[in-house]
Structure 1
Amino acid sequence: MVAELLPLNPDELLTTTRSVRKRLDLDRPVPLDVIHECLDIALQAPSGSNTQSWHWIVLTDADLKQKVADHYARSYNDYAASRPKTDDATMGRIRSSSQYLADVMGQVPVLVLGAIDTGSDLPPGNQASMWGSLLPAAWSFSLALRARGLGSAWTTLHLVYEREVAQILGIPSTVHQGVLLPVAYTKGTDFRPAPRRPLDDVLHLNGW
């Protein structure tokens, strides 16, 4: 099966790939062929020394999804309780949609975990070189989903219980999870760029 592509130019694709939560369609099945197609694209992402040591754990089994979702919800609830309360409308919307995702994670048609085999424990110090061989591929996967009318949300809160999730899924101790992506078709495809700080606030030319 080859999924139909949305009529998006590259800039539109890059600026409208959002974290989708409330607009994930929990009732529409996601064919595994589409997941495979998007992961094939993701494998063209950079990989340090061309090691290609990434792994992708795709969950469609309802029981396994719920077990992972339970750990995610537990971590999210602890995180949410620790955050200061504000009256900011934007943060209110984010809290609402994040709580929604925590509540329905187990009902999302497909969960995809991106992981990397380091051959040992996580290295000390700055780990950018290691995660740089996984996270670009995970973002390419998200872009490929968006191009086909599907959405996801970049989540890492389950990593508080990484070992517990690894035990549930039989993931070896040398393989470290980096991201959890709930995947579904979206309710509508009319996503817009998100508000961002002005470039001049974060741009440093020839030094800090």
Structure 2
Amino acid sequence: MTDLLPLDPDQLLSTTRSVRKRLDFDKPVPMDVLRDALEVALQAPSGSNQQGWHWIVVTDPDKRKQIGDYYADSFNGYRNSPQYATNHASGDADRQATQGRVASSAEYLAERMGDVPVLVIGALTASADLPAANQAGLWGSLLPAAWSLQLALRARGLGSAWTTLHLKYEKEISQLLGIPDDVRQGVLLPVAYYTGDTFKPAPRQPLDEVLHVDGW
């Protein structure tokens, strides 16, 4: 059993941040530590208790590089899109400053994704053609487990970041890793030990701006 950081539940939930610039690319991640965290993730809920998730752990340097190249290409396309400009130019000065830091760290991760010692892809058994209607029920059977994995990693001194831009090349990555056609990818988590432990709650909009009681 891996030693856990002395964090109470609220600290764990409020200080598990997306770690990009502070990932340690040189320190190996033991597989037994990763397995411990994944065992915790498997306790997450899934629709009708189907537990249809799959976890593809990529440590091979050549495969990590290829996935990193796909990710970088997808990120470059996103960075040049109107959506990117809108996401990082809206709000007041404080908000824009925060978004500027987020953009800088996201660009850094895109450049170094292939250097991260472990890439974990969370996937789900599903039909080859995803439902055209609301997909909340489908992905609700994977994403809670992926977040549980991030929390379990944090408790063990490891950092991660929620990413999905690799999905532009989902078919190519599935072929690279031998993932069956009926298994669809939902999230890519770069995983590494982090440098420094000064994580704290992030700025968020006031609760009363988003809270609705008994109606809108």
Report the Cα distance in structure 2 between the residues aligned to 1:207 and 1:171, rounded to whole angstroms: 44
Instruction: Write the deviation string for residues 26-78 of structure 1: whole angstroms up to 9, x where unpaired.
Output: 11100011111100000000011111100000000000001111110000011
Paired residue type of 2:164: T
CA apart distance, 1:120: 4.2
CA apart distance, 1:119: 4.1
Question: What is the root-mean-square deviation of aligned Cα atoms in Å?
Answer: 1.2
> Which residue, out of 103, 106, 111, partners 1:103?
111
Q: Match for residue 58 of structure 1?
A: 57
Instruction: Write the deviation string for residues 160-190 of structure 1: whole angstroms up to 9, x where unpaired.
Output: 1111111111111111100000000010222
> Which residue, out of 177, 196, 210, partners 1:188?
196
Secondary structure of 1:197's aligned partner = coil
Report the Cα distance in structure 2 between the residues aligned to 1:159 and 1:201, rounded to whole angstroms: 32
> Which residue, out of 120, 123, 141, partners 1:115?
123
Report the Cα distance in structure 1 between the residues aligned to 2:23 and 2:2, rounded to whole angstroms: 18
Secondary structure of 1:164's aligned partner = helix
Instruction: Write the deviation string for residues 5-33 of structure 1: whole angstroms up to 9, x where unpaired.
Output: 11100000000000000011111100011
Instruction: Write the deviation string for residues 106-127 of structure 1: whole angstroms up to 9, x where unpaired.
Output: 1101000000001442122001
Instruction: Write the deviation string for residues 129-148 of structure 1: whole angstroms up to 9, x where unpaired.
Output: 11010000000000000001
Structure 2: 5+ residue stretches without partners: none
Report the Cα distance in structure 1 between the residues aligned to 2:69 and 2:165, rounded to whole angstroms: 11
Secondary structure of 2:80's aligned partner = helix
Report the Cα distance in structure 2 between the residues aligned to 1:38 and 1:12, rounded to whole angstroms: 18
Counterpart check, 1:143 vs 2:151: yes
Task: Rate the CA distance shift 1:120–1:75 in 2: closer, same or farther, 3 A.
Answer: closer
Report the Cα distance in structure 1 between the residues aligned to 2:193 and 2:5, rounded to whole angstroms: 12
Stretch deviating more after TM superposition (62-71 or 114-123)? 114-123
Paired residue type of 1:113: I
Q: Give TM-score, length-normalised by structure 1.
A: 0.96
Q: Match for residue 33 of structure 1?
A: 32
Paired residue type of 1:6: L
Structure 1: 5+ residue stretches without partners: none
Paired residue type of 1:64: K
Q: Match for residue 203 of structure 1?
A: 211
Secondary structure of 2:179's aligned partner = coil
Report the Cα distance in structure 1 between the residues aligned to 2:30 and 2:214, rounded to whole angstroms: 48
Paired residue type of 1:26: F
Paired residue type of 1:98: A
